[in-house]
Amino acid sequence: MSAPREWIPAGAASIAAAVREGKVSATELVRESFDRAASVKAGADGLNCILSSDRDSSLRAAESHPVGGALAGVPVVLKDNIATTTLTTSCGSKILEGYTSPFNATVATTLQQAGAILVGKANMDEFAMGSSTEFSAYGAARNPIDTSRVPGGSSGGSATAVAAGLAPIALGSETGGSVRQPAAFCGIVGVKPTYGLISRFGLVAFASSLDNIGVFGRTVDDSALAMQVLAGDDTTRDATSAPRPAPTFRTDSRDLTGVVIGKPREYFPESLPAPMREQCDRAIDALKARGATFRDVSLPHTDLALPVYYIIAPAECSANLARFDGVRYGMRIAGDGLRGMYEATRSKGFGAEVTRRILLGTYVLSAGYYDAYYRKAMEVRALISKDFTDVWASGVHALFTPTTASPAFQIGAISDPYEMYLCDLFTVSANLAEVPAMSVPIGRVQGLPVGGQIIAPKFGEADMFRVAYALETELGVEAHR
Ligand code: GLN
């Protein structure tokens, strides 16, 4: 094989098999990843998807990687809010510029044990707040399909890295859609697991009751493989981790006979642009062709999901981000006394969106407003969860919706924060209800990729993947990218 550059697009499952068979070495794969990174970095249109990387340390890791693992020799990229002892964990923020963690996140260790090689930490919206990666303190990442556009966010750098072929697998984090939306915008697969399925030990917290680590892959099978490696009990280090038996998400079945898929009317509003609707209809026909039956269903509290999310997420973020005060982590700016130091550090260290969320969150939690906002939001959240359990109880196995209402927008096109929040319209409910959901490429609108979302009951990942495999196979893997 004279062209090692062809390995990464072949995907993680093929790469790991080739490494195990001795057809390619982990060091060759690291070189391929870094060669690609160098080529996409060049020029003003650089994708800006990687915040830190170190070729030599990746090569060293490749030389000593464990043989025979499920991800043997597979280059991986992690979002920069996942703690690793090599490279930075900046969270896309000035306040953690150059910060290196003293420990590894469980997912980082698990990937390493499976043979994967870390090749970079990915750009992101500051502290994972945003939908475009434009809120990174280190500049916007660009969509590899059209570099004048955003890759989505907040895990935009991870999505870009996979779409641009730097790695077949990347990890992101999800609080309200930050894996699924960038996956849709970049034409790849993005998975948000059931809350608790993948350990969050070492994930810098944004909103603890909503946060998940999620997976990007070029194909459904690569995503299922990575999820299978990562899912598992970590209760000793993450109290929210679910003690579950080792899962099997990969399957050869492409048959959906007997599977009932719900089409929630709230996710297909009048305002959904016709080209988006057409792509969804095509996907629905593809699923029917594989034997699925469709049923119109309703999730009646859907219109409350976004307002509820934008109370709960800022409230929890205001508590979680209190630790960044210049004392223990990252930057410290001297001020008048201790209070002055806190003020100077936090006002210089946090960007505008993070500051807005902290202020909003502090307000909704403050005495006198807690009941009116936070408590009420938690009550409505319970109603949103019940919408889903009612649908499952009616005999529906999974739901199909668009992932977003439109394809990737131009960098700089959205300046109103509220308009940016609307990007999460179809994704936040799954986080509020703690159910798994994934985005699969289904076609193109204005020449840009769009995704279809599959949502399943809690711990129903196997069914979710079964639907995704069938969809991808029927539509054709490459045709829609
Ligand atoms: N875009 C949403 C927000 O800004 C979701 C972010 C996320 O999932 N991390 O909060």
Chain segment 253-288, per-residue pLDDT in tens: 999 999 999 999 999 999 999 999 999 999 999 999
- Res. 336 pLDDT band, cuts 50 70 90: very high
Q: DSSP per residue over 55-74, as a string?
A: HHHHHHHHHTPPTT-TTTT-
Gap from CA of 179 to ligand 1 centroid (Å): 9
**The pLDDT value given to residue 43:** 56
How many CA within 13 A on the CB side of residue 111? 29
For residue 175, the ligand 1 atom closest to its alpha carbon is 8
**Residue whose CA lies nearest to ligand 1 atom number 5:** 176
pTM of the full predicted structure? 0.97
Which band of pLDDT confidence, cut at 50, 70 and 90, is reported for residue 382?
very high
**3-class state of residue 1 by DSSP:** coil
Active-site residue list? 79, 154, 178
Residue 52 φ/ψ, nearest 5 degrees: -150, 140
pLDDT tens-place string over residues 204-213: 999 999 999 9
Q: How far is the CA of 369 from the centre of ligand 1 (A)?
A: 23
Are residues 178 and 159 in contact, defined by beta-carbon separation less than 8 angstroms?
no
pLDDT band with cut points at 50, 70 and 90 for residue 188: very high
Q: Which residues line ligand 1 (CB under 6 A)?
A: 128-131, 154, 173-178, 206, 313, 424
At 3 the pLDDT is: 47
- Tell me the average pLDDT of the chain: 95
Instruction: Tell me the pLDDT band of 45, cut-offs 50, 70 and 90.
Output: low
Kindly report, residue by residue over 337-355, the tens digit of the pLDDT: 999 999 999 999 999 999 9
Integer distance in angstroms from the first to the last C-alpha of the chain?
26
- The answer to whether the CB of 25 falls within 8 A of the CB of 59 is no
427 Cβ contact partners less than 8 Å away, ≥ 6 residues apart: 176, 177, 180, 181, 403, 404, 437, 453
Q: What is the pLDDT of residue 246?
A: 82
Phi, psi of 131 (to 5 degrees): -135, 20
- Give the whole-number percent of the chain exceeding pLDDT 90: 92
For the residues 403-415, what does the mean pLDDT come to? 97
Distance, in Å, from the CA atom of 390 to the CA atom of 126, rounded to the nearest integer, reads: 36
Q: Taking Cα atoms as reference points, which of 458, 302, 315, 314 lies closest to residue 380?
A: 302
Pair of tokens at residue 284: 């629905």
Helices (H) and strands (E) in the chain, counts: 16, 11
Strand partners, 444: 449
Mutate to test the pocket of ligand 1, among 178, 191, 428 (most ligand atoms within 8 A of CB): 178
Integer Cα distance of 171 and 287 in angstroms: 27
Of ligand 1's listed atoms, the one at least distance from the Cα of 129 is 4
Return the ligand 1 atom nearest residue 173 CA: 9
pLDDT digits (tens, 9 = 90+) for 217-260: 999 999 999 999 999 999 999 999 999 888 899 999 999 999 99
Percent with pLDDT over 70 in the chain: 97
Query: 267 or 43: whose pLDDT is higher?
Result: 267
- Inform me whether the pLDDT recorded for 471 exceeds 50: yes
Q: In the predicted model, what is the mean pLDDT of residues 292-315?
A: 98
The mean pLDDT of 30-35, rounded to a whole number, is 95
In terms of Cα–Cα distance, which of 421, 413, 395, 420 is closest to 146? Answer: 413
Distance CA 35, CA 53 (A): 13
pLDDT in tens, 49-108: 999 999 999 999 999 888 789 999 999 999 999 999 999 999 999 999 999 999 999 999
* 2, pLDDT greater than 60: no
